[in-house]
Chain A
Amino acid sequence: MRFMVIVKADKDSEAGVMPSTELLTAMGKFNEEMVKAGVMLAGEGLHPSSNGARIRYSGKDRTVTTGPFGATRELVAGFWLIQVKSRDEAIEWMKRAPFDGGSEIEIRQVFDAEDFGEALTPELREQEQRLRSQARK
């Protein structure tokens, strides 16, 4: 099962404050452990939302709003994609992450083709697989 671990934004991440060398070193060590265990598929950090934009949809209308967006705790600061056997295993891994001081992460399972049932017709399923294999450069 694949899980996305969403790292929630906080005042510092939204202000563009860079992590300390200590934290980066601890995070590097944690990432290495996950890679060695074959758990980590990807991990990225995002620029603060002040550099971002939102698009709202209504019929053919598109309304663009530029960042920053309020409700800092609802924003995403970064993520991991991990491959584990269960949600519990995902939780166990993430308890070991070197966070502190009120940081919060959210663990969410990624949809696989089987989860879509009949909505994903054989044609769509084939197209989806083709997209995945071709998308990565």
Chain B
Amino acid sequence: MRFMMLMIPLGYETAPPDVKLDPERVAAMMKYNRALKDAGVLITLDGLHPPSMGARVSFASGEPLVTDGPFAEAKEVLGGYWMIDVKSREEAIAWAKRCPASSKEVIEIRQVQEMSDFPADVQEAAAGFTELQGKSGR
């Protein structure tokens, strides 16, 4: 089963575009990343620039509306993610518990939808999706 571990750093919603990272924390996180890899569970991982550099596109009226970040109403934003392949949700939670996260960080575990999770008519309409998924797909 594939799971995303979504890293939600509290306060990142107001971080400036040139947010600084602490080398010590980066090194600790790399050690954890290495453990995920050595166990054969890591599929991919990425970090995201702060929302102050981002944009939102909303489709309320049919016409796309673009809003530049930071987003005043946002209370929780994504700082990065890991995608892992494990046998159960419990195993995913056990991995997340090992993360050297700070008290200002929350990790959310979410299962990735596989084609086999959908009924036949949906699978038919989505035919070819797996071929589109590229490097993080399977």
Contacts and interface: CB of A to CB of B under 8 A. Distances in A.
Given A46-B4, A105-B56, A28 B48 contact: no
Secondary structure type dominating chain B contacts: mixed
B59 A102 contact: yes
A41 B135 CA distance: 6
A131 interface: yes
Q: Interface residue tally of chain B, by bracket?
A: 35 or more
Given A110-B47, A137-B43, A127 B30 contact: yes
Interface string B124-138: 111111001111111
Nearest to A90: B55
Interface string B100-120: 011101111111110001110
B63 to A, nearest CB: 9
Contacts of A2: 46
Interface string B36-47: 010000111111
Contacts of A4: 46, 48, 78
Nearest to A134: B37
B72 interface: no
B30 A124 contact: yes
Interface in A108-136: 108-111, 115-116, 118-121, 124, 127-128, 131-132, 134-136
Contacts of A19: 122
A6 interface: yes
Most buried by B among A25, A62, A97: A62
A103 B65 CA distance: 11
Given A64-B97, A71-B75, A120-B26, A106 B133 contact: no
- A-B pairs, top 9 by smallest CB distance, nearest first, are A42-B136, A24-B125, A111-B47, A95-B64, A109-B49, A57-B101, A99-B59, A104-B58, A45-B113
Given A102-B59, A131-B37, 16 more contacts: A28-B127, A32-B128, A42-B134, A43-B133, A47-B111, A57-B103, A57-B105, A59-B103, A76-B6, A101-B59, A106-B56, A107-B56, A111-B46, A119-B22, A124-B30, A127-B34
29 contacts: A4-B48, A4-B78, A31-B129, A43-B132, A43-B134, A46-B111, A53-B96, A53-B108, A55-B93, A55-B99, A55-B106, A55-B107, A56-B103, A74-B76, A87-B53, A103-B59, A105-B58, A106-B55, A107-B57, A108-B54, A111-B48, A111-B49, A119-B23, A124-B26, A124-B30, A127-B34, A128-B30, A131-B34, A137-B43
